[in-house]
Amino acid sequence: MIRCRDAQQLIMRCVDGALNEEEVARLESHMAACAACRHELEAIQATMDALDQWESHQPMRGFGDLRELVLMSQQGTTSLCAQTYPSSRWLVAGFAALSLLVGVVAGVMTAPSTPDRPEVTEMAAIQAIDAGSFENLVDGSLAYSLAERTDEGGSK
């Protein structure tokens, strides 16, 4: 009688219907006495049966599409593989990258230049606070604190 290891090899081929009569007889003889290998065959068979759950694809294209493709190739257009699937995706990606680049360059070129921050002095801050409106008061407070920082920085 064959060993379990040999039975495993036969089991794998058995589920593909690839055993000859003599191999089938050897496997059956082994499995009659080996529960583990019986279980193994059932498990592999169930796995293979499950594969049928993934349905096949029904083609959408026909001979007319092929005829067009042949005409295109005769006119010197590149083949479908080069033309359709890789390059169409690369074209989209390339177009997106180009658009991004153009956007960045245009943004840089058309961006208004940042106005220079007026130099803040303690006197200007006091004048702003003295002006009295709430808006001026807030501006003045900000200006004053900036002026203080500037002074501190200068004194270090």
Partner 1 sequence: MLAVAKGDDHAYRLIFDRYYPRAVNIAYRTLGDAVVAEDVAMEAFLRVYQARLRYRPSAKFSTYLYRIVVNLCLNYAKRVRMLTTLSAEDCKLLASDHHDPAKCAERRELGGIVREAVLRLPPNQRLALALVRYENLSYESAAEVMGVSVKALESLLHRAKQNLRKSLKSYVQNEDG
Output the smallest distance, CB 61 to partner 1, in A. Answer: 5
Question: In this chain, which of 1, 4, 36, 48 binds partner 1, going by CB under 8 A?
Answer: 48
Q: Which stretch binds partner 1 (CB under 8 A): 6-14, 114-122, 126-134, 139-147?
A: 6-14
Burial of 126 (0-12, 13-18, 19+ CB in 10 A): middle
Backbone angles phi, psi at 53, to 5 degrees: -70, -25
Instruction: Write the interaction track for partner 1 spanning residues 13-32; mark x where CB under 8 A is met and - where it is not.
Output: x-xx-x--------------
Q: What DSSP assignment string belongs to 90-104?
A: HHHHHHHHHHHHHHH
Closer residue to partner 1, CB minimum distance, 90 or 131: 90
Contact 71, 80 (CB under 8 A): no
Q: Does 35 bind partner 1 (CB under 8 A)?
A: no
Instruction: Write the interaction track for partner 1 spanning residues 65-94; mark x where CB under 8 A is met and - where it is not.
Output: xx--xx--x-----xxx--xxx--x-----
Q: What is d(CA 41, CA 10) in angstroms, rounded to the nearest whole number?
A: 9
Question: In this chain, which of 5, 20, 59, 117 binds partner 1, going by CB under 8 A?
Answer: 59
Q: What is d(CA 62, CA 84) in angstroms, rounded to the nearest whole number?
A: 17
Q: Does 61 bind partner 1 (CB under 8 A)?
A: yes
